[in-house]
Amino acid sequence: MRFLIILVSLLTLNFSNSQTSQENSVFIDKIYDEALSNGKSYEWLDYLSNQIGGRLSGSINYERSVKWGKEELNLLEIDSVWLQPVMVPKWVRGAPEYAHIETRPGNNISVPIVALGGSISTPSIGISANIVEVKSFKELRDIGRDSISGKIVFFNRPMDVTLINTFQAYSGSVNQRTQGAVQAAKLGAVGVIVRSMTTTLDNYPHTGSMYYEGLSISQRIPAAAISTNGAELLSSMLSLNPKIKFFFRQNSRNFPDVLNHTVIGEITGSEKPDEIIVVGGHLDSWDLGDGSHDDGAGIVQSMEVLRIFKSLDYIPKRTIRVVLFANEENGLRGGNKYSEVAKLKNEKHFFAIESDAGGFTPRGISFDTSDTEFKSLKKFEKYFNDYGVSFLQGGSGADIGPLKDGNIILAGLRPDPQRYFDYHHAASDTFDKINKRELELGAATMASIVYLMDNYKL
Amino acid sequence: MRFLIILVSLLTLNFSNSQTSQENSVFIDKIYDEALSNGKSYEWLDYLSNQIGGRLSGSINYERSVKWGKEELNLLEIDSVWLQPVMVPKWVRGAPEYAHIETRPGNNISVPIVALGGSISTPSIGISANIVEVKSFKELRDIGRDSISGKIVFFNRPMDVTLINTFQAYSGSVNQRTQGAVQAAKLGAVGVIVRSMTTTLDNYPHTGSMYYEGLSISQRIPAAAISTNGAELLSSMLSLNPKIKFFFRQNSRNFPDVLNHTVIGEITGSEKPDEIIVVGGHLDSWDLGDGSHDDGAGIVQSMEVLRIFKSLDYIPKRTIRVVLFANEENGLRGGNKYSEVAKLKNEKHFFAIESDAGGFTPRGISFDTSDTEFKSLKKFEKYFNDYGVSFLQGGSGADIGPLKDGNIILAGLRPDPQRYFDYHHAASDTFDKINKRELELGAATMASIVYLMDNYKL
C-alpha cells in the first residue's frame, strides 16, 4: 500500500503545484456558481442584522454576535475555531439626543442629531449658545479665539459629490468629525456640531468616531453629527441671522475598557500550514442601524469563503483563516491585537484580504504590495474579467493593516461605492439595503482571490 | 468687423475639428461634475414616478407623461420640441387578479398572480383545472396533447442565477412568458401560469408582454405570471400531489389601437445639422409599479443629456435629438414609427444611444456596429477609465434598433445588472429603488459619449 500512497501523494502534489489557467478558470466558475446557487451569506446576514442588530464594542449585542459567529463557524466543521480576547473601549450613547435652532426666544426648530462616538455628554440641561459655521480648520483659526470662545462650532464642509470614488470624498471631509472637537475646544468653543458624512441630502445623522487626543478632561467638549438636511437648514438660518442660538443635549458616556473577543476559525493548510491567509471583516458596528453594510456584509462574506471551500471539497495548501475582528469602529483594538499576537507567535502571514466597504456589486480588488508584486499578481486579473472585477493598487482594510511588514500581500474588496455613504454609520444601515446577489458576488470574489493566492508561489 | 467675425469663426471651427485628448478629458470631467452637482434627472424622475406613475400605452397616465415630457423639454429652451403620433395597442388589466391552489375541495391557498400584458380575460367565474408543470416547450410537447388538454400549463423554468449578466438569464427564460400561451393552447390547454422573470425569491408577480401570434380568437387562452415564491410553493405541492387543482381569475382586455405620441426635442447642429444623434429611452411603462427603472431612468437621463449641454454652453456640431419613445413594452410601435418617419424624410442618423436597462451605476457602453468601427471607437474608452465604464460589442436598445441600416452606430448604456430584475415589470419598480448618484452617473455617461460622437468623424 505504501507505494500507492506515495504515488497518490505525488500526483496530488504535482496537481497542486501546476494549476493551469484552464483549471483555475473552471474552479473560479464553480466558486461563483456555488455562491450564487447555494450561498449562505444572505441568510447569515439576515440573522446577524435582524436577530442581533447593531453591535457596538462592549455592548451585550457584541457579545451575542461573538457567540453567533463562533457557533456558525463551528457548524462549518473547519479545523479549529477560537476566540481572541482583547480589551476595547466602551462608549454608551445613553438617552436619545435632541437639538434645535432657536430663531428667537421661544421659537425653536428641531433638527436631527446624534452624538459622535467617544463624545462626552452635554450638561444634563443641554448647551445653548451662539453658533459659528466653518468649512475648515484654517477658517476656524482665522476666525480666532475671540469669536469662537463660548460658542458652538458648526463644521459644514460637505463631502465632494463630484468625486466618483465616494471613499475619497469621505477622506476629504472626515477630519471635521474626528478632530473637530479638539480644534474647536482649543479656541474655547463649548460644543461641536458636524455635518454628517454622506453624499445624500436626507434626515439621518451619521455617527462615527471622534477623539480628544491630548485634551485634558476639563477641556473636552461634546460633539454631535447633524443630518445633511439639518445642516443645510442651519446654514441658511445662520446666513439670515448670524445671532441665532443652537441648543443640543446628549447623554453619552465613556466607561473603562472591557473585554471583548475577535472570532477566528481556520482550515489548516495541507502543504504549507505555517503560511497563513486571512480573510476577514469587523464584527462590531455602530449602534444606530444594524450594521448590515458596515460591516455585517464583510463578516458573512468572509465566513462564506470557508463554507464555499468546504462545500467544493477544496483542500487548501496554506492555512485559511477567517477573522471576525473586534472593535474596528472606535479603536481598532481587534486588528492591533491580532497582529500583536501573530508577531508574538512568529506566525507567517502570506496574504490577507478584508471586506469593509459595503455589500454592493464587487468591482475591484485593491492590493497593498510592492509594484513588482502587483505586476506579478496582475496576471490573475484575467480570471475576473467575466465577473467585472479589476485589480488596482491602493489600500486594503483597517483591521488587517497592522499586519503589514514588507512581506505580506494585503488586499481589500472594492464594491461599487455609490450608495455606501447613504447608510454609513446611520440608522439607515439596515438589512433591507442589502441585495442578495451583490453580497454573494462579493463573497465569490473573495473566495476566488483566496483560492488563487493559496496556489501562488507554492 | 467682418475680419474679426471671420477670425472668430475660423478659430471656433478649428477648435471644433481638432479636439485634443486633453480637451475631451476636461470637457467630460465638466459633464460628470455638472450631472453630480446640478443634475435634474432625479427631480424629474421623482415627478414622473410619484406624480404620474405607471404609464401603460393608451392610458391616461401615458397622456399625462407626454404632456409633462413636452413641457419639460420646452423649458430647456432647445431648438424644437414636437410630438410624433403613433397608433398603439391598448390593453387594460381590469379588476385585480386572483389565484389559488386547491389542495382538496374547500381547502385553498392563495398565490399572487398578475395577468400578462396582452392576455385575454378568464371567464368571469375564473378557470379551475388540473395543472401540469413544465420547464420547457420540449417537455411540454413530450408530455403531449392527451395529458395537456383541458389543463392549465405551469411554466416553471427559473432564470439562471449563476449567469453574472442577468439580462442573459432573462433571455434564457422569457420565451415561457412571450410564447407559453401559444405553445400550450396548441395542445389544448385552458390557461397558462408562468413563473415570474426575476432572480429573486419574493412575492411580486412580474408582468410583461405575451403574444398569441397566429392563434385564432377562439384558440386563445389566458396567461398570468405567478410570483417566484408562489411558483416554488405550487411546484412543491404538485410534487406531493399531481392531482391538485389551480384556480385563477383575471379581467384583462384588449381594445382597438389608440393614438399615442412619442416626444421629441432637439438642438440643431451648428456644423452638420443634417446628421442626427439620438439619445433616448421609452416613456411608456407597465402599469404595476411606477416604472422608475423601466424606463423612467432612461427618459430622465436622456433629457439630462440636453440639459447638461445647454448648461455647459456646449454647441453641438451635429443635431442632438432626445426621443421619449412611445409603446416599447407591448408593441415597439414608437421605435418602429420613428424609424419609418426618418426613412420617409431621408434623415441621416449618425449615432443613437438608448438607456433601457435601469438607473444603476453605469458600467459599460455596448456598441452595435462593425468590428472595424468598434475598433476605432475603442480609442474613446480611455475617457471613461476614471468613471468605471468600459466599451463592449453587443446590442443597443429596442427602440433604436429599427434605425439599423449598416451606417448608423447604435449603442446602449449598460448599468450594473444585479438588481434590475428584482423590480422589472413588477409593483416594486418604484422611485425609492433609485439612487440619485447612480442615476446621475448614467446620464453623465450618456452625455459624454454623445459629446465624443458629436465630434467624431467631422
DSSP track, B351-403 = EEEE--S-SS-EEEEEEES-HHHHHHHGGGGGGGGGGT-EEEES---TTTGGG
Task: Indicate yes or no: CB of A36 within 8 angstroms of CB of B387.
Answer: no
Residues of A with CB under 8 A from a CB of B: 32-33, 36-37, 161-162, 164, 166, 199-200, 361, 363, 386-388, 416, 418-419, 422, 435-438, 441
The pairing of strands A272-282 and A348-354 is parallel
Residues of B with CB under 8 A from a CB of A: 32-33, 36-37, 161-162, 164, 166, 199-200, 361, 363, 386-388, 416, 418-419, 422, 435-438, 441
Q: Give the pLDDT of residue B19.
A: 75
Interface test with B, best of A416, A433, A439 (most B CBs within 10 A): A416
Query: Rounded to whole angstroms, how far apart are CA atoms A157 and B386?
Result: 24
Q: What is the C-alpha radius of gyration for chain B, rounded to an integer number of angstroms?
A: 24
Query: Rounded to whole angstroms, how far apart are CA atoms A439 and A420?
Result: 13
The pairing of strands B107-110 and B245-249 is unpaired
For residue A295, say if its preceding peptide bond is cis, omega within 30 degrees of 0: yes
From chain B, the residues in CB contact with A435 under 8 A are 418-419, 422
Closest-CA residue to A281 (of A316, A348, A328): A328
DSSP type of residue B123: P
CA A60 to chain centre: 20
From chain B, the residues in CB contact with A361 under 8 A are 361, 416, 418
CA distances from B428 to A323, B200, B425 (A): 37, 12, 8
Query: Rounded to whole angstroms, how far apart are CA atoms B146 and A37?
Result: 36
Interface test with B, best of A164, A293, A435 (most B CBs within 10 A): A164
From chain A, the residues in CB contact with B419 under 8 A are 435, 437-438
From chain A, the residues in CB contact with B442 under 8 A are none
Interface test with A, best of B416, B420, B434 (most A CBs within 10 A): B416
Q: Residue B164: which of A161, A363, A387 has the nearest Cβ?
A: A387
For the segment A226-249, the average pLDDT, to the nearest whole number, is: 98
Q: Give the pLDDT of residue A14.
A: 38
Catalytic residue among A275, A328, A329, A354: A328
Task: Indicate yes or no: CB of A164 within 8 angstroms of CB of B436.
Answer: no
DSSP type of residue B338: H
Catalytic residue among B133, B275, B328, B440: B328
CA distance A329 to chain B (A): 26
3-state secondary structure of B50: helix
CA distance B165 to chain A (A): 9
Contacts of A202 (CB under 8 A, 6+ apart): A227, A228, A229, A422, A428
Half-sphere exposure of A288 (CA within 13 A, CB side): 23
Task: Indicate yes or no: CB of B419 within 8 angstroms of CB of A437.
Answer: yes
Residue type, B199: T
Query: Rounded to whole angstroms, how far apart are CA atoms A270 and B314?
Result: 63
Give catalytic status of residue A139 as yes or no. no
* pLDDT above 90 (res A17): no
Residue recorded with cell 449598416 = B406
**Which residue on chain A is closest to B436 by alpha carbon?**
A200
Task: Indicate yes or no: CB of B164 within 8 angstroms of CB of A441.
Answer: yes
From chain B, the residues in CB contact with A388 under 8 A are 164, 363
Q: Residue A435: which of B387, B419, B441 has the nearest Cβ?
A: B419
Q: Give the pLDDT of residue A236.
A: 98
Residue A136's CB: how many other CB atoms inside 10 A?
13
Query: Rounded to whole angstroms, how far apart are CA atoms A160 and A148?
Result: 26
From chain A, the residues in CB contact with B422 under 8 A are 435
Task: Indicate yes or no: CB of A386 within 8 angstroms of CB of B361.
Answer: no
Tens digit of pLDDT at every position of chain B (458 positions) = 344 444 444 444 434 445 799 999 999 999 999 999 999 999 999 999 999 999 999 999 999 999 999 999 999 999 999 999 999 999 999 999 999 999 988 899 999 999 999 999 999 999 999 999 999 999 999 999 999 999 999 999 999 999 999 999 999 999 999 999 999 999 999 999 999 999 999 999 999 999 999 999 999 999 999 999 999 999 999 999 999 999 999 999 999 999 999 999 999 999 999 999 999 999 999 999 999 999 999 999 999 999 999 999 999 999 999 999 999 999 999 999 999 999 999 999 999 999 999 999 999 999 999 999 999 999 999 999 999 999 999 999 999 999 999 999 999 999 999 999 999 999 999 999 999 999 999 999 999 999 999 999 99
Mean pLDDT over all residues of chain A?
96
Backbone φ, ψ for residue A92 (5° rounding): -125, 135
From chain B, the residues in CB contact with A441 under 8 A are 164, 418
3-state secondary structure of A240: helix
From chain B, the residues in CB contact with A419 under 8 A are 435, 437-438
Half-sphere exposure of B53 (CA within 13 A, CB side): 10
Q: Give the pLDDT of residue B179.
A: 98
For chain A, the residue count is 458
Domain boundaries, chain B: 19-91+256-454, 97-251
Task: Indicate yes or no: CB of B388 within 8 angstroms of CB of A435.
Answer: no
Output the DSSP codes for A298-313.
HHHHHHHHHHHHHHTT
- The confidence band for A19, taking pLDDT boundaries of 50, 70 and 90, is confident
Task: Indicate yes or no: CB of B435 within 8 angstroms of CB of A419.
Answer: yes
Yes or no: say if A221 and A252 are a contact pair by the CB < 8 Å rule: no
Q: Give the pLDDT of residue B299.
A: 99
Query: Rounded to whole angstroms, how far apart are CA atoms B267 and B282?
Result: 20
Which parts of B30-124 are beta strand (E)?
A: 80-92, 98-104, 107-110, 113-115
Task: Indicate yes or no: CB of B437 within 8 angstroms of CB of A387.
Answer: no
Residue B435's CB: how many other CB atoms inside 10 A?
20
Output the DSSP codes for A26-78.
HHHHHHHHHHHHH--HHHHHHIIIIII----TTSHHHHHHHHHHHHHHHHTT-
Q: Give the pLDDT of residue A18.
A: 53
Residue A26's CB: how many other CB atoms inside 10 A?
11
The pairing of strands A409-415 and A362-368 is antiparallel
Q: Residue B418: which of A32, A33, A441 has the nearest Cβ?
A: A441
Q: Residue B36: which of A161, A387, A416 has the nearest Cβ?
A: A161
Q: Give the pLDDT of residue A347.
A: 98
Largest CA distance in chain B: 94
Backbone φ, ψ for residue A290 (5° rounding): -110, 10
CATH code, B97-251: 3.50.30.30
Please name every residue paired with B341 in a beta bridge, in sequence order, or none if there are none. Answer: none
Q: Give the pLDDT of residue B4.
A: 42
Interface test with B, best of A31, A34, A162 (most B CBs within 10 A): A162
Tens-place pLDDT, residues A91-140: 999 999 999 999 988 899 999 999 999 999 999 999 999 999 999 999 99
CATH pick for A19-91+256-454 out of 3.40.630.10, 3.30.930.10, 3.40.640.10, 3.40.50.11540: 3.40.630.10
Q: Residue A416: which of B161, B386, B416 has the nearest Cβ?
A: B416
**Which residue on chain B is closest to A164 by alpha carbon?**
B387
Q: Give the pLDDT of residue B150.
A: 98
* pLDDT above 90 (res A3): no
- What ipTM describes this predicted complex? 0.94
Q: Residue B416: which of A37, A162, A361 has the nearest Cβ?
A: A361
Residue B342's CB: how many other CB atoms inside 10 A?
18
Determine if residue A264 is left, alpha or beta; phi over 0 gives left, psi from -120 to 50 gives alpha, anything else beta.
beta
Q: In what order do the strands lie in the sheet with B318-325?
A: B80-92, B253-267, B318-325, B272-282, B348-354, B409-415, B362-368, B390-393
What's the N-to-C CA distance of chain A in angstroms?
28
For the segment A204-216, the average pLDDT, to the nearest whole number, is: 97
From chain B, the residues in CB contact with A415 under 8 A are none
Task: Indicate yes or no: CB of A388 within 8 angstroms of CB of B32.
Answer: no
Q: In what order do the strands lie in the sheet with A223-226?
A: A107-110, A98-104, A245-249, A127-134, A152-155, A191-195, A223-226, A113-115
Output the DSSP codes for A161-212.
TT-SSHHHHHHTTTHHHHHHHHHHHHTT-SEEEEE-S-SS-SS-----B---
Half-sphere exposure of A337 (CA within 13 A, CB side): 22
Task: Indicate yes or no: CB of B437 within 8 angstroms of CB of A416.
Answer: no
From chain B, the residues in CB contact with A418 under 8 A are 361, 435, 437-438, 441
CATH code, A94-251: 3.50.30.30
Residue recorded with cell 441621416 = B348
Yes or no: say if B283 and B55 are a contact pair by the CB < 8 Å rule: yes
Task: Indicate yes or no: CB of A162 within 8 angstroms of CB of B387.
Answer: no
pTM: 0.95
Q: Residue B418: which of A166, A386, A435 has the nearest Cβ?
A: A435
Query: Higher-confidence residue: A279 or A106?
Result: A279
Task: Indicate yes or no: CB of A441 within 8 angstroms of CB of B422.
Answer: no
* pLDDT above 80 (res A8): no
For the segment A265-272, the average pLDDT, to the nearest whole number, is: 98
**Which residue on chain B is closest to A31 by alpha carbon?**
B162
Q: Residue A164: which of B386, B418, B436 has the nearest Cβ?
A: B386
CA distances from B91 to A92, A109, B185, B327, B420 (A): 59, 50, 21, 11, 25
From chain B, the residues in CB contact with A162 under 8 A are 32-33, 36-37
Backbone φ, ψ for residue B195 (5° rounding): -60, 135
Task: Indicate yes or no: CB of A435 within 8 angstroms of CB of B441.
Answer: no
For residue B295, say if its preceding peptide bond is cis, omega within 30 degrees of 0: yes
From chain B, the residues in CB contact with A438 under 8 A are 418-419
Please name every residue paired with A134 in a beta bridge, in sequence order, or none if there are none. Answer: A155
CA distance B422 to chain A (A): 9
